Amino acid sequence: MGVMKRRLPAVRPPAFRGRLHDARTATSIGRWLGAAIAVCFGTGLISHYLQHPPAWLTDELPSRPAWGYRLTQGLHVASGIAAIPLLLAKLWAVYPRLFAWPPVRSVRHALERVSVAVLVAGAVFELATGLLNTVQWYPWPFSFVPVHFAVAWLLAGALLLHVAVKYPQIRAHWSRASPASAALPVADGPDRRSLLTGVAAAVGAVTLTTVGQSFTPLKAFDVLAPRHPDHGPEGLPVNRTARAAGVVQVDALAYRLEVQGPRPYTLTLAELAALTQHESVLPIACVEGWSKSAHWTGVRMTDLLRRAGAPLDARVRVVSLERYGAYRVMEMGRAYAHDPLTLLALKLNGQTLTADHGYPARIIAPNRPGVLQTKWVTRLEVL
Ligand SMILES: Nc1nc2c(c(=O)[nH]1)N[C@H]1C(S)=C(S)[C@@H](COP(=O)(O)O)O[C@H]1N2
Ligand SMILES: [Mo]
């Protein structure tokens, strides 16, 4: 194979004579891109298992810290957005290699190229589908969650392999003072620093103009994110309106909360409002990236369950008035169901819930993805 390599040297077509397509530039950008993807992958796993826990995990999921999911999902979306300019810069730095001629020089080289193809395709796919998901646009025929989740593993594997294969170059070019980097044309140094400054500025710009959707101290700069923390009834954004969910005006007199369990019972809205009310300060932390804290008033879930004769480690299934839709039915494990902060809320920021926020009653629980904060609740089933 060594002989073959010498006979077929990699030829750079004349179009790729440009500068800064070197290992030092690729390493400098690559380590930030790698860090962003690692954060995105880790927080994505947390999000996935909070939403779709395997049966054995359901009761182990912690309801604290109350702000946990707000932080991890805020990081997930922010690191994914930051990775976009980093990926573009990285692809720009390495693209002559992607078009190197001849395309395959040896079996080893062929394998390496396949892994790079998986890496590039996986990264582009994950960032594109993730970004479109934040604006709730699904222009593809498959279901977002399972495919985004599966490709994340593919990407993680391809990235690990890539780092392993490139380890010698990464190590040789980690520092700009290293002998390998110092051997690069001296004149490239200032240009490389300008390029990296530009990339950093692009990352800063996309972050600053979107991160305020979850990190509310920066909400004044949130001009590009699809949701703004201040836009929405009662000072809270709405993800799915009552109209979109097909929940028409709920009649306060006809409404019943049904609680199934060892001692089942039914409450009218007036009876529900007459039970001991508690207040929780908890965020809605939407999977799509926005989050905002609010004051909620209502009846503790654990009180409702105990009244139905449920043991203190019972899970609960929550059913909405919504007739179709993926978030009509939700289950919570024991930590959530019996956390004193978990409420069947009737009020938001001191006012009766609006239809869009789940009138007459909705779930609010700590450390939970927004999709599981079920609105328009009509039935609780002790499991
Ligand atoms: N029944 C039902 N509950 C639901 C939804 C829904 O579509 N149907 N959307 C969820 C999502 S994705 C989020 S982020 C929160 C948002 O609550 P808000 O609209 O009051 O801010 O409600 C959740 N509860
Ligand atoms: Mo959401």
* Predicted local distance difference test score (pLDDT) of residue 4: 44
* Predicted local distance difference test score (pLDDT) of residue 5: 44
State which of 213, 293, 327, 363 you would mutate to test the pocket of ligand 1, scoring each by most atoms of that ligand within 8 A of its C-beta: 327
User: Ligand 1: distance of its center to the CA of 307 in Å?
Assistant: 27
User: Ligand 1: distance of its center to the CA of 374 in Å?
Assistant: 6
**For atom 19 of ligand 1, which residue has the closest CA?**
238
Residue 212 contacts residue 229 (beta carbons within 8 Å): yes
Cβ-based neighbour number of residue 9 at 10 Å: 9
* Predicted local distance difference test score (pLDDT) of residue 112: 87
* Ligand number with the minimum distance to the CA of 238: 1
Nearest-atom index, ligand 1, CA of 321? 1
SS (H, E, C) 254-317: CCEEEEECCCCEEEEHHHHHHCCCEEEEEEEECCCCCEEEEEEEEEEHHHHHHHCCCCCCCCEE
Q: Which residues contact 228 (CB under 8 A, 6 or more apart)?
A: 212, 213, 219, 222, 237, 290
**For atom 21 of ligand 1, which residue has the closest CA?**
238
- The CATH H-level superfamily of 233-382 is Oxidoreductase, molybdopterin-binding domain (3.90.420.10)
User: Ligand 2: distance of its center to the CA of 288 in Å?
Assistant: 6
Nearest-atom index, ligand 1, CA of 322? 1
Residues of each domain in the chain carrying CATH 3.90.420.10? 233-382
**For atom 15 of ligand 1, which residue has the closest CA?**
370
Within 13 Å and on the Cβ side, how many CA atoms surround 263?
A: 8
Cβ-based neighbour number of residue 58 at 10 Å: 16
User: Ligand 1: distance of its center to the CA of 251 in Å?
Assistant: 20
Q: Which protein residues have a CB closer than 5 Å to ligand 2 (ion)?
A: 239, 286-287, 370-371
The SS3 call for residue 36 is helix
Give the alpha-carbon dihedral of 39, 44, 47, 53, to 10 degrees: -130
**For atom 11 of ligand 1, which residue has the closest CA?**
371
Task: Render the burial of 172-185: b for 16+ CB within 10 Å, e for the rest.
Answer: bbeeeeeebbeebe
pTM over 0.85: yes
Cβ-based neighbour number of residue 98 at 10 Å: 13
* Predicted local distance difference test score (pLDDT) of residue 1: 38
* Ligand number with the minimum distance to the CA of 359: 1
* Predicted local distance difference test score (pLDDT) of residue 10: 55
CA-nearest of 326, 319, 344, 330 to 372 is 330
* Ligand number with the minimum distance to the CA of 375: 1
User: Ligand 2: distance of its center to the CA of 383 in Å?
Assistant: 25
Nearest-atom index, ligand 1, CA of 377? 1
Per-residue pLDDT tens digits of the chain, which is 383 residues long: 344 444 545 555 556 677 999 999 999 999 999 999 999 999 999 999 999 999 999 999 999 999 999 999 999 999 999 999 999 999 999 999 999 889 999 998 999 899 999 999 999 999 999 999 999 899 999 999 999 999 999 999 999 999 999 999 999 999 999 999 999 999 999 999 999 999 999 999 999 999 999 999 999 999 999 999 999 999 999 999 999 999 988 999 999 999 999 999 999 999 999 999 999 999 999 999 999 999 999 999 999 999 999 999 999 999 999 998 999 999 999 999 999 999 999 999 999 999 999 999 999 999 999 999 999 999 999 99
- The H helix count followed by the E strand count for the chain is 11, 10
What are the structure tokens assigned to 352, written together? 């009766």
Which protein residues are within 6 Å of ligand 1, measured from CB? 236-240, 245, 284, 286, 320, 322, 325, 327-328, 356-358, 370-371, 373-376
User: Ligand 2: distance of its center to the CA of 358 in Å?
Assistant: 13
